[in-house]
Each structure stands twice: as C-alpha cells, then as structure tokens.
Chains A and B, each alone.
Chain A
Amino acid sequence: MSGVRVLVGTRKGAFVLTSDGKRQRWDVSGPHFAGWEIYHLKGSPVDPNRLYASQTSGWFGQVIQRSNDGGKTWDAPGGGVTISPGGMPAGESNKFVYDTSPGTGKPLTTHQWYDGTQHPWEFKRVWHLEPSLTDPDTVYAGVEDAALFRTTDGGRTWQELAGLRGHGSGPRWQPGAGGMCLHTILLDPSHPERIFIAVSAAGAFRTDDAGKTWRPINRGLHSEYIPDPNAEVGHCVHRIAMHRSRPSVLFMQKHWDVVRSDDAGESWQEVSGNLPTDFGFPIDVHAHEPETIYVVPIKSDSEHYPPEGKLRVYRSRTGGHEWEALTKGLPQSDCYVNVLRDAMAVDSLDSCGVYFGTTGGQVYASADSGDTWAPIVRDLPAVLSVEVQTVP
C-alpha cells in the first residue's frame, strides 16, 4: 500500500510525518535543524527521496540542505571540502547573489521602499523551493528580496534568472507586511518553458521561455488602496495553485478575494462567492478533481486569525463561487491561529488527503478530501510550510 510523507517547516526546525495509506497512525521525525527557521521543504517529483530544505536564521543567514533518503539524513550540498580548479574550496551551497549588469557591475534595478524611495535589493532568505518536474538536480528558489534563482547541480550553486527583475517593473515593486518575497513557483507540466511566479506585493508573473523574459499577469485583479484599477504591478498575491491536468487554469488567494484564471493568467475573475472573509493565505486544488479547491478564510487586515474563533477550511466543488465550510474535527471555538501561504498541501492517493499547518503548531490531516479532520501533531513550533509526498 502506498503511504504519505508530510514535510513540515516550522520556526524552529523541520519535521517529517509519515503514515501508510490509511493516514491514521503517524510517525513523527524531528526536529531536524533544531532552532533554525525552515521556511520550506519539498521533494523531487522524479526522485521522491531527494528532498531540499531552506534553513535560515536571522543570526547565520541562509543554508540549503539536501537529503537523498527521504529526510533521514541531510547535508549541505557543496558544504564539504571540495576544491575548485584554482585550488580554492568550492562549496557555496548557501550563496545567493543577485545578478548584476554586465556594463556597470551594479544590481539590475532597485525597488520601492516603504517611504517611496528606491532601495537596493538585499538577499534575506529562501521562501520556497520548487524542484524540477524532470530533473532531481534542478530546483527553483523563490527568495526575499524577491527574485528567482535556479540550481542545476543539486543545490551546490545557484544562479539568478534575472530576466524577472530586469523586465522593467522592478522599481515599482514594494515589500508586503511579510517582506518582499517571491513565494509561489508553479511549473507548467505541459509547457516545459512556462513558469508562473508570484511576489508580495508585486503580483503574478509568467515566463514562456524558461525564465529569460517575463511579463506581469495581473489583469482583472482589484486591490483596495491601489488607485489605478488596471495597475500592472502592486498586487498582494498570497498564493496560486493549479491542477497538473489543466495548467492554464489558476486559482489565486489574494489579499482581497479568491480569483481564478482560465487563460494562464491573461485575465482573472473573482470567485469568492459566499466565503466569510475576503482574506487568507493558502489555496490548493484536489488531486483528482480539478474544480475542487480549498482555502482557509482569515480575518484581516490586522487580526489574521479565523473569523469567530472557528477554524474552517472552505471547499468549493465548482471552481469557486459556491463554498462549503469543512469543520468536522477542527476547533470551532476559541481558535486564533493563522495558516500561512505555504502551509497547505494535498496528496494523490485515491481518496485525496488534504493537510495544513497552523501558527499554533498543529498539523491537521483529512484522508477524505476534507470531510473530516484530525490533528497529526498539536504542539510543534509555528508551522511555516507543509508539503506532502505520496510514496510507494
């Protein structure tokens, strides 16, 4: 019987939760990298035992970790003593350096700072790692300050795909409350050179040439407080999801509203329907039903906890507009946690499993598409990310 492996990144380490296909009994492994913030872990679709993790710290900066055995052991690729042809140590797996102009050697652009002035790009951390659909050594990294990097040597070295920052709107990007992060990377399984990304608070962008050139795809997004209703950038996108069978259909949880696109981001329509709030962070799509989507409504703009103290996942089986609250097994009183943008995932077992983690340290699982829920663990550090793998 197939099983699942849930990869959980928290404020104080990583945890690996495993179960068989019933998803009732769980083995908890961790904390890995105890004391470090683990923004994200994710496995390679073509080699599920190859995992990558973003390990970061305000004191010590960024480290990339890699596992070749499903998370039992880890190493920093390039972190061992390796010698370059010049005789110098070559390990630099935690090195993310923004591309610079060949002419000036200076960064390609500046971005807008909180006071409206221009500010240089400053690397802070890796928010999201997206392994290639075809090559276990190729991984994309979304970083703060917002940029997209790629490794093709299993995480030893990273190079920026600088066309994103260089496409022209960079000076108008500005940080959201959580920083100016590139948090979403979607690889199109039917168009190998098409990638969707999202930046807070700039918006969504798409490349059709493997990252050389990019353009904003924000038409139809409406954001309060942005005077221009057709603003090309400046939108606070929280998360985008797609079903791999229909990669031109995108679902977005934005700071305001849930929206969908049926044309690969060329245009967006609001599908918030009867959701109790217009705010939330994660959004995901059922593994076998491309029109079934999940969100966790959160009260905004400053409270950032579930409305009425009731933790509810909302499911739409109609691709939006009509939503039902999923509450069975979730706390329905006095619950004031948040669910962050990378903290929801679905497995691909026949009965689709849905998972999410909270800032209160709970990881909830549903083995029946969201009808019923149970906590896998209740007392982890604040959960930053949840991914799930279906393993043999």
Chain B
Amino acid sequence: MIRVALPQHLRTLAQVDGEVQLQVDGPVTQRSVLDALEARYPVLRGTIRDHVTQQRRPFLRFFACEQDLSHEPPDALLPEAVAMGNEPFLVVGAIAGG
C-alpha cells in the first residue's frame, strides 16, 4: 500500500486521521498516487491539483525520502521506498508568510 501524508487542512477536509493508505495499480507515480487519492476522497479534487490543467497548486509541494519532488514530471516513478510502502509521499503546504 502507498502511504500519503496530507497537510492538516486536507486531512480535516477528507475526514481522515494520520496517513492515508492507497492501493495503486501499475507504476507508482505522482499522477497515479494522486489519481488514487482523489478517487478515494473526491473532496480533495482541485485542492492539490488544478481541476483542468492537473498542475500542482502553487503553494503545495511534494516530498518523499528527503527529496523535493515538486518539479518532477507527474509520470516519473516515485522512489522505490514509496512504492514499497516503506516511506510516505508527502503533500506539504508551503510556508508562505513573511
């Protein structure tokens, strides 16, 4: 199972506690993980990726295994540790204050 860690506001919106565990068939990529996430929790549609363009929202970042994957192509394979369920795929709200 793929582990996904959501920011607090999205956990509240999806009414989940802690990490989400998802079954992903086929290659484990940003796109396949987010597709599976949105299929399970439709309320998250549009909150991570734009409804139409499917691009990452500007103030969100994707991390895994201490790597910033935000600018990786959506169909690039995620680290094997994520695909194996050993590490979570992190959706992080950018710190946009100042």
- Are A79 and B42 in contact, CB atoms less than 8 angstroms apart? yes
User: In the complex, how many angstroms separate the beta carbon of B96 from the nearest chain A beta carbon?
Assistant: 7
Q: Besides A79-B43, A89-B42, 19 other CB < 8 A contacts?
A: A58-B59, A59-B60, A59-B93, A59-B94, A60-B13, A60-B47, A60-B48, A60-B93, A61-B46, A61-B47, A61-B50, A79-B13, A81-B41, A88-B39, A91-B42, A92-B46, A93-B43, A94-B46, A94-B47
User: In the complex, how many angstroms separate the beta carbon of A385 from the nearest chain B beta carbon?
Assistant: 20
- B residues sitting closer than 8 Å to A (CB atoms) are 7, 9-10, 13, 38-43, 45-48, 50-52, 57, 59-60, 93-94, 96
User: For chain A, what secondary structure do more than half of its interface residues adopt (helix, strand, loop), or is it mixed?
Assistant: loop
- Are B52 and A60 in contact, CB atoms less than 8 angstroms apart? no
Name 14 interchain pairs, CB-CB below 8 A, sorted by A.
A36-B9, A57-B9, A58-B96, A59-B59, A59-B93, A60-B9, A61-B46, A61-B47, A63-B47, A81-B40, A89-B42, A94-B45, A95-B45, A97-B51
| Nearest-CB residue, chain B, relative to A91 | B42
- Are B9 and A89 in contact, CB atoms less than 8 angstroms apart? no
Instruction: State whether A90 and B10 are in contact (beta carbons under 8 Å apart), knowing that A59-B59, A59-B60 are contacts in the complex.
Output: no
- Are A62 and B46 in contact, CB atoms less than 8 angstroms apart? yes
A-chain residues with CB within 8 Å of residue B40 when the two chains form the complex: 81, 89
User: In the complex, how many angstroms separate the beta carbon of A75 from the nearest chain B beta carbon?
Assistant: 9
Please tell me if A267 contacts chain B, counting CB pairs below 8 Å. Answer: no
B-chain residues with CB within 8 Å of residue A58 when the two chains form the complex: 59, 96
Please tell me if A274 contacts chain B, counting CB pairs below 8 Å. Answer: no
- Are A78 and B46 in contact, CB atoms less than 8 angstroms apart? no
Please tell me if A80 contacts chain B, counting CB pairs below 8 Å. Answer: yes
List the 3 shortest-distance A-B pairs measured between CB atoms, nearest first: A91-B42, A79-B43, A60-B47
- Are B47 and A91 in contact, CB atoms less than 8 angstroms apart? no
Instruction: State whether A91 and B9 are in contact (beta carbons under 8 Å apart), knowing that A59-B94, A61-B57 are contacts in the complex.
Output: no
Q: Which of A57, A62, A81 contacts B42 (CB 8 A)?
A: A81
User: In the complex, how many angstroms separate the beta carbon of A346 from the nearest chain B beta carbon?
Assistant: 33
A-chain residues with CB within 8 Å of residue B10 when the two chains form the complex: 60
Please tell me if A82 contacts chain B, counting CB pairs below 8 Å. Answer: yes
B-chain residues with CB within 8 Å of residue A57 when the two chains form the complex: 9
B-chain residues with CB within 8 Å of residue A93 when the two chains form the complex: 43
| Nearest-CB residue, chain A, relative to B48 | A60
A-chain residues with CB within 8 Å of residue B96 when the two chains form the complex: 58-59
Q: Which of A59, A88, A90, A95 contacts B9 (CB 8 A)?
A: A59
User: In the complex, how many angstroms separate the beta carbon of B24 from the nearest chain A beta carbon?
Assistant: 15
B-chain residues with CB within 8 Å of residue A91 when the two chains form the complex: 42-43, 45
- Are A89 and B47 in contact, CB atoms less than 8 angstroms apart? no
| Nearest-CB residue, chain A, relative to B43 | A79
- Are B38 and A63 in contact, CB atoms less than 8 angstroms apart? no
| Nearest-CB residue, chain A, relative to B42 | A91
Instruction: State whether A63 and B43 are in contact (beta carbons under 8 Å apart), knowing that A36-B9, A57-B9 are contacts in the complex.
Output: yes
Instruction: State whether A76 and B13 are in contact (beta carbons under 8 Å apart), knowing that A58-B59, A58-B96, A97-B52 are contacts in the complex.
Output: yes
User: In the complex, how many angstroms separate the beta carbon of B16 from the nearest chain A beta carbon?
Assistant: 13
- Are A95 and B93 in contact, CB atoms less than 8 angstroms apart? no
Q: Which of B9, B43, B51, B57 contacts A76 (CB 8 A)?
A: B43
Q: Which of B13, B45, B93 contacts A92 (CB 8 A)?
A: B45
A212 to B4, CA, bound (A): 44
B-chain residues with CB within 8 Å of residue A79 when the two chains form the complex: 13, 41-43
| Nearest-CB residue, chain B, relative to A36 | B9
A57 to B46, CA, bound (A): 11
User: In the complex, how many angstroms separate the beta carbon of A107 from the nearest chain B beta carbon?
Assistant: 11
User: In the complex, how many angstroms separate the beta carbon of A120 from the nearest chain B beta carbon?
Assistant: 12
- Are A89 and B39 in contact, CB atoms less than 8 angstroms apart? yes
Please tell me if A35 contacts chain B, counting CB pairs below 8 Å. Answer: yes
Q: Which of A90, A94, A96 contacts B43 (CB 8 A)?
A: A94
B-chain residues with CB within 8 Å of residue A60 when the two chains form the complex: 9-10, 13, 47-48, 57, 60, 93
A80 to B45, CA, bound (A): 11
Residue among A79, A80, A81, A96 having the largest count of chain B Cβ atoms under 10 Å:
A79
